[in-house]
Structure 1
Amino acid sequence: MTITAETEPGQGGRVLIVEDEPELLEPLDYSLRKAGFTTFSAADGLNACRQVGACRPELILLDIMLPDLDGWEVCRMIRSHPDERVASIPIIMLTALTATDNKLKGLELGADAYLPKPYSMKEVILQARNLVARRRQQTRLLDEVARLGSRSGVWHDIQDMVFHELRNHLLVIGGFSDVLSRDIPGLGQDRSRSHLEAIRRSSRYLVNLAEEFLMMRKVESGSLVLPRQLVELGALVGEVAKLFEPVAEDRRVQLQVGCEPARGTVLLNAAALKVVLANLLGNAIHYSGAGTTVRLGCLLDGAERLCLEVQDQGPGIPHDEQARIFERYYRGRGQQETTRGSGLGLYIARTLAEAMGGRVGLSSEPGLGSCFRVVLPLPSSAGAGVVPQRRLQ
Structure 2
Amino acid sequence: MAKVLGKLKQPPPRTKNSNFILKLLQLPLLLKVLIANSIIVGGGAFVGTWLTTFVSGGEDHFTIELALLLTFIGLSFSGVVNFVVLRAAFHPLTELVQTSAAVRGGDLKARAKSSLVTDPQMEELANTFNTMLDTLEERNDQLHSTATQIIKAQEDERTRIARELHDETAQSLTAVMVRLKLLEKSSSVEDLKKGLSEMRTILSNTMDEVRELSRNLRPSLLDDQGLVAALESYIQAISERLPRKITFQQEEAEQAIRLPEMVELVCYRVAQEALTNAIKYSQATKIEVHLATADKITLSVTDDGIGFNPDTAYEKTGLGLVGMRERAQLVSGNLYINSKPGKGTEVRLEIPLKHGKDTSYLQ
CA distance in structure 1 between the aligned counterparts of 2:337 and 2:272, rounded to whole angstroms: 16
Q: 1:120 aligns with which of 84, 88, 102?
A: 84
Structure 2 residue aligned with 1:357: 332
CA distance in structure 2 between the aligned counterparts of 1:289 and 1:119, rounded to whole angstroms: 74
**Deviation (angstroms), 1:310:** 0.9
Q: What SS is found at the alignment partner of 1:267?
A: coil
Question: How many residues get paired?
Answer: 237
Structure 2 residue aligned with 1:259: 250
Q: 1:205 aligns with which of 203, 211, 216?
A: 216
Write the deviation string for residues 86-127 of structure 1: whole angstroms up to 9, x where unpaired: xxxxxxxxxxxxxxxxxxxxxxxxxxxxxx999633444566
1:307 aligns with 2:318: no
1:346 aligns with 2:299: no
**Deviation (angstroms), 1:315:** 0.2
Change (3 A) 1:168 1:231: closer
Counterparts in 2 of 1:264-279, with a 5 A limit? 264-268=256-260, 269-279=263-273
Q: 1:235 aligns with which of 229, 232, 241?
A: 229
Structure 1 residue aligned with 2:108: 142
CA distance in structure 1 between the aligned counterparts of 2:291 and 2:208, rounded to whole angstroms: 27
Output the amino acid matched with 1:297: H
Structure 1 residue aligned with 2:28: 4
Output the amino acid matched with 1:176: E
**Deviation (angstroms), 1:385:** 6.5
Structure 1 residue aligned with 2:200: 189
CA distance in structure 2 between the aligned counterparts of 1:190 and 1:324, rounded to whole angstroms: 47
1:375 aligns with 2:350: yes
**Deviation (angstroms), 1:312:** 0.9
Counterparts in 2 of 1:59-208, with a 5 A limit? 120-125=84-89, 129-138=93-102, 141-143=107-109, 151-182=143-174, 183=176, 184-185=178-179, 186=195, 187-207=198-218
**Deviation (angstroms), 1:306:** 2.9
Change (3 A) 1:3 1:234: farther
Change (3 A) 1:153 1:379: closer
CA distance in structure 2 between the aligned counterparts of 1:272 and 1:3, rounded to whole angstroms: 55
Q: 1:283 aligns with which of 270, 277, 286?
A: 277
Contact 1:205-1:243 within 8 A present in 2 as well: no
Output the amino acid matched with 2:339: S
CA distance in structure 2 between the aligned counterparts of 1:274 and 1:189, rounded to whole angstroms: 33
CA distance in structure 1 between the aligned counterparts of 2:216 and 2:311, rounded to whole angstroms: 30
Q: What SS is found at the alignment partner of 1:284?
A: helix
**Deviation (angstroms), 1:284:** 1.6
Greater helix fraction, Structure 1 or Structure 2: 2
Aligned Cα RMSD in Å?
4.0
Contact 1:361-1:374 within 8 A present in 2 as well: yes
Q: 1:298 aligns with which of 287, 291, 295?
A: 291
CA distance in structure 2 between the aligned counterparts of 1:273 and 1:7, rounded to whole angstroms: 61
- TM-score normalized by structure 1? 0.49
Output the amino acid matched with 2:344: G
Contact 1:176-1:196 within 8 A present in 2 as well: no
Output the amino acid matched with 1:286: K
Contact 1:231-1:270 within 8 A present in 2 as well: no
Unaligned runs of 5+ in 2: 1-12, 14-25, 34-79, 110-135, 180-194
CA distance in structure 2 between the aligned counterparts of 1:132 and 1:297, rounded to whole angstroms: 53
Output the amino acid matched with 1:265: I
Contact 2:304-2:345 within 8 A present in 1 as well: yes
Output the amino acid matched with 1:134: Q
1:322 aligns with 2:315: no
CA distance in structure 2 between the aligned counterparts of 1:271 and 1:135, rounded to whole angstroms: 43
CA distance in structure 1 between the aligned counterparts of 2:31 and 2:348, rounded to whole angstroms: 53
Identity across the alignment (%): 17
Output the amino acid matched with 2:211: R
CA distance in structure 2 between the aligned counterparts of 1:190 and 1:148, rounded to whole angstroms: 53
Change (3 A) 1:365 1:149: closer
Write the deviation string for residues 200-246 of structure 1: whole angstroms up to 9, x where unpaired: 222333448xxxxxxxxxxxxxxxxxxxx997342132244256447
Larger radius of gyration: 2
- TM-score normalized by structure 2? 0.53
CA distance in structure 1 between the aligned counterparts of 2:145 and 2:318, rounded to whole angstroms: 14
CA distance in structure 2 between the aligned counterparts of 1:192 and 1:241, rounded to whole angstroms: 25
Q: What SS is found at the alignment partner of 1:307?
A: strand
Output the amino acid matched with 2:163: L
Unaligned runs of 5+ in 1: 10-115, 209-228, 332-340, 387-393
Write the deviation string for residues 328-387 of structure 1: whole angstroms up to 9, x where unpaired: x423xxxxxxxxx624x22222333344233333443432312223333335465x669x
CA distance in structure 2 between the aligned counterparts of 1:300 and 1:146, rounded to whole angstroms: 34
Greater strand fraction, Structure 1 or Structure 2: 1
Output the amino acid matched with 1:315: I
